[in-house]
Amino acid sequence: MSALLQLKVYFASLLVFFALDLTWLGVVAKGFYRAQLGHLTRPDVQWPAALLFYLIYVGAIVVLCIAPAVEKQSIGRAAALGAVFGLAAYAAFDLTSLALLKDFPAGVVWVDLAWGTILTAAVSAAGYLAAQRLG
Alpha-carbon distance 87 to 109, whole Å? 11
What's the confidence (pLDDT) of residue 42? Answer: 86
What's the confidence (pLDDT) of residue 135? Answer: 85
What is the number of other CB atoms lying within 10 angstroms of the CB of residue 56?
10
Alpha-carbon distance 101 to 70, whole Å? 39
Which pLDDT tens digits describe the chain residue by residue (135 residues)? 899 999 999 999 999 999 999 999 999 999 999 999 988 888 888 999 999 999 999 999 999 999 999 999 999 999 999 999 999 999 999 999 999 999 999 999 999 999 999 999 999 999 999 999 998
Alpha-carbon distance 33 to 28, whole Å? 10
CB 82 within 8 A of CB 124: yes
Domain range summary for the chain, segments of one domain joined by +: 3-134
Helix (H), strand (E), coil (C) string for 63-114: HHHHHHHHHHCCHHHHHHHHHHHHHHHHHHHHHHHHHHCCCCCHHHHHHHHH
